[in-house]
Amino acid sequence: MHTFFPHPSTASRIMASELYVPRPRDDDEVSLISMRELAPSPIEDEDVDAYYSITTDGSETPPLAKSMTSSLHSRTASITTGRGPGFWLARTQKYSSYAFLTFLTVHGATAAVSPLLFGIDSGNSSLLLARTYFYQATPYTELLLIPGSLALHIASGLSLRIYRHFSQKSRYGGRIPPALSMWRWRNFSGISRTGWVALPGVVLHAGLMRLVPWWIDGDSSQISLEYFAYGFFRGKWSKWVGGAFYAVFVGSVSYHVVYGLARYWGVAVERRKKVLNAAVVAAAGVWMAGLARIVVHSGKVGGYLGRRFEEFYRVFFRGLEI
């Protein structure tokens, strides 16, 4: 009678499987580090429902991903049902940006594209036309279209960040890990960073081009593209300082707008990054080229207008020194 002996390698595997008994995991061993590694990053999409129903490339979420997010979906029902504060704040941030983008498009066409293609006289004419018949046509149009929409966009974005901060706080039992804080600069998206970087430039540019003339003359009838160019000839370092300022300003605005629209429109950012970067460079390049042509061909204005421009600039820079 033959006796069956298993192959040595088979016997060793059987013995190993019999000897191995998985040690039960103690909940006390779950450290803060492991929780930080497994915690999801804050949702940056404006539509949280879309975050759970589609992936970044636009395809439908796999069933496994749906089951993994079902518990999180139930715990954040106030957001995902589209009835919570987060939903409405995100919608306000989105559509207020569209309102401001309307002005930005017209302003870019008149103050950059038109002088770049057709010269400064054409730029001044188109700027006057837009000022008269578009965003300054009625007393409240400019107020609602420019500072109103911008203030609403900033306030809703900041409120949304505060709302998500308190949602995180309740999720982590009142103490948010520093690595996941909504207020940590490293955790800000590129869109948010460039938006906050561009904000001081928006305020300074509006103060110089609109508020100072309005404060002195009561209107901006004497403001033209030559007034913008005049600031680059006021001192030895004016061209370099002004050029660096507008390069950062225009670059941050271009990135913020291009990537912000890509996010709103559901573009797969990682797959289209080269295209988006090219769009940012193209937008910033056209805008800077238009501004450069204005500065080069205008020169320093003299006479009565030059004295008025100098008065405006002195008031503006004196205000900054205070």
- 21 or 143, greater pLDDT: 143
Q: DSSP label at 44?
A: -
Binned at pLDDT 50, 70 and 90, residue 99 comes out as very high
pLDDT at 48 over 80: no
Question: What number of CA atoms fall less than 13 Å from residue 235's CA on the CB side?
Answer: 8
Pick the CATH number of 85-321 from 3.30.450, 1.50.10, 3.40.630, 1.20.1300: 1.20.1300
pLDDT at 104 over 50: yes
Residues 6+ apart with CB under 8 A from 141: 134, 135
State the pLDDT at residue 60: 38
- 164 or 46, greater pLDDT: 164
Angle 85-108/149-171 helices, nearest 10 degrees?
150
pLDDT at 87 over 90: yes
179-235 pLDDT per residue, tens: 888 999 999 999 999 999 999 999 999 999 999 999 998 887 778 999 999 999 988
For the chain, which residues make up each domain, given as ranges?
Answer: 85-321
State the pLDDT at residue 42: 40
Pairwise CA distance, residues 48 & 64, whole Å: 19
* Proportion of the chain above pLDDT 70, given as a percent: 72
**DSSP codes joined into one string, 267-321:** --TTTTHHHHHHHHHHHHHHHHHHHHHHHHHH----HHHHHHHHHHHHHHHHHHH
Binned at pLDDT 50, 70 and 90, residue 320 comes out as low
pTM for the full predicted model: 0.75
Using CA atoms, how far residue 309 sits from 40, 98, 219, 304, 318, in Å, is 54, 33, 14, 9, 14
